[in-house]
Structure 1
Amino acid sequence: MDEGGVGREYRRRRRPPLAYLVLPGLLVMNAFIQISRVSGDRGGDGGAGGRWGPPVFAVLLVLAVARVALEQFRAHTRVTTAGITAQGPVRARTWAWSEIYDIRVEQAPRGSGRAAPQWLTYLYDVQGRRFLLWQLNDWQVDDPYAEVAELCLAAAPLRSYTWEPRPDVEERIRRGAVRRRAWLWGTYGALGSMLVMLVVSFGLVVTGRPDHPFLLIVCVPLAAGVALGAVLQWYWGVRPPRSLTPQP
């Protein structure tokens, strides 16, 4: 695609590491093993959580693996003189150049390691909302920063205004960054609580005391994650760390 130097398409060029595909498969296999074990141990009389908890967990894992597969083979980004189309695993979204405020390369969340791209590209619309541009990352492009800089330069004549920052949009972007960071840490808190509750549940089973797996492993971590995310969003909204302020 050329279209005066603007047209281009970003698709999967490099295969993901084997661990990126093997790990979800192992999780699904473990879920089915746990379903069989729970069904055998409790004989179907383990309560509502014991009956449908493991199957629901297995279905969610299967959906997650399906999403990973669709992301690898279907998701892409197409750039034309009319605008940018981001085709996700399921749905596509298109922005005209007049609706695009900025395009930025940002570091992926910590903990992704080598099993995922380290630098991702996001489109910000004129309302300050952020959207991922699929496959425009350091796995599929040698230098995402140079690629985005070249793209912005080529698209400048197609826009009704320059790429200069606007304070009102930057403030909305900052609030969005605060919200995402707060709920990311809320998710970490929920996962940490789940690990603790797994230990507690195991201890209850070993000692012969009543066990409530759905309450301990689902409800408590969910409540902890929501509470932590809400508190951090309020606190960082008042006193945001410098790292949460997007740089133009």
Structure 2
Amino acid sequence: MGGDGEDDRDDERGIEREYSRRRKMSRGRFVALCIVQGNFALQMARPDIIPGRYRLLAVALMALLGVWAILTARRGRTTVGADGVTTRGAFRVRRWAWHDIYDLRVETNPGQRRADVKSLTYLYDNDGRRARLPHLDDWQLPDLWAEVADLHTASARHRGMTWERRPAVEVRIRERVAHRKAQERAITGALIVFFAGLAYLLWEIFTDADPHPFLLLLCAPLAAYALLAPLFRRRYIRALAPA
């Protein structure tokens, strides 16, 4: 009797759910985006700042970024059903069966001070890999923690197993966290080198020197990444290792 009642309550709430964009970005974020785009358009309109061929490249990159953002906002969604979880982005669709899913976790957004979204939901598979679940966050949902807890409960009978922690998977998760953090730091370092090279390249152009765009904008950032990634990875593996 008690088990049947729980199943009835799960059926009333339903496991078939779709999370898509319900709220637009905040006014502050919208104003900041308009300021950035306006400044970009102003700089591109000044022929004395950037030569024509570089201006076309910058405009093309900005246009591609805009198309990606629009498609992500319109197509992005997370679908949960009896068969598992499906995510859709601007161009990519990914699917996980319930038996391949290790956990669904709410985590703090690293850029929360500058973002509307303070908490995000990630799916972890049995190999420790994680994937963000689009629009399953505290900006689109008023009580994200309760929603994810309800998903755990409603999906339990479809998984065929409980949501228990497994030490081997937790170790793989920590290793992947270390690798991911190292990549993020190394990419940040590479971007710093890239923009420093871009500034130097512009100086060379304005002073009629012989520019070296391939060396400054590609070789130097790649070399910085190759040097920093293993250094940061060793550091984070030591920091994340259990005491």
SS in 1 for 2:137: coil
- CA distance in 2 between partners of 1:171 and 1:58 (Å): 44
How far off its partner does 1:230 sit? 2.5
Contact 1:129 1:176 in 2 (8 A): yes
Aligned to 1:104: 105
SS in 2 for 1:156: helix
1:13 and 2:22 are equivalent in the alignment: yes
- CA distance in 1 between partners of 2:138 and 2:110 (Å): 14
- Cα pair distance change 1:129/1:213, threshold 3 Å: same
- Cα pair distance change 1:101/1:34, threshold 3 Å: farther
How far off its partner does 1:182 sit? 0.5
Unaligned runs of 5+ in 2: 1-9
- CA distance in 1 between partners of 2:196 and 2:205 (Å): 14
Aligned ranges for residues 223-234 of structure 1 at < 5 Å? 223-234=223-234
- CA distance in 1 between partners of 2:191 and 2:102 (Å): 35
- CA distance in 2 between partners of 1:218 and 1:210 (Å): 17
Aligned to 1:89: 90
Aligned pair count?
229
- Cα pair distance change 1:117/1:20, threshold 3 Å: farther
- Cα pair distance change 1:220/1:166, threshold 3 Å: same
Aligned to 2:150: 150
> Deviation string for 1:33-87 (max 9, x for gaps)?
48885445xxxxxxxxxx5x55444333322211111111110111112211111
How far off its partner does 1:147 sit? 1.1
- CA distance in 1 between partners of 2:39 and 2:92 (Å): 26
SS in 1 for 2:94: strand
- CA distance in 2 between partners of 1:37 and 1:203 (Å): 11
SS in 1 for 2:79: strand
Aligned ranges for residues 185-196 of structure 1 at < 5 Å? 185-196=185-196
Percent identity over the alignment?
37
What TM-score do the two structures reach when normalised by structure 1? 0.79
Q: Which residue identity does 2:132 align to in structure 1?
A: L
Aligned to 1:44: none
Return 155-164 or 53-62, whichever deviates more.
53-62
- Cα pair distance change 1:28/1:73, threshold 3 Å: farther
Contact 1:31 1:57 in 2 (8 A): no
Aligned ranges for residues 1-248 of structure 1 at < 5 Å? 3-5=11-13, 6-17=15-26, 18-19=30-31, 21-22=33-34, 25-26=37-38, 29=41, 32-33=44-45, 38-39=50-51, 55-110=56-111, 113-204=113-204, 209-237=209-237, 239-241=238-240
Contact 2:174 2:240 in 1 (8 A): no
Alignment root-mean-square deviation, CA? 2.8
- CA distance in 2 between partners of 1:54 and 1:240 (Å): 44
SS in 2 for 1:127: coil
Q: Which residue identity does 2:239 align to in structure 1?
A: P
Contact 2:87 2:94 in 1 (8 A): yes
> Deviation string for 1:106-126 (max 9, x for gaps)?
11223x543452211111111
Contact 2:84 2:98 in 1 (8 A): yes
- CA distance in 2 between partners of 1:222 and 1:13 (Å): 39
How far off its partner does 1:200 sit? 3.5
- Cα pair distance change 1:27/1:213, threshold 3 Å: farther
SS in 2 for 1:134: strand
Unaligned runs of 5+ in 1: 41-50
- CA distance in 2 between partners of 1:11 and 1:163 (Å): 25
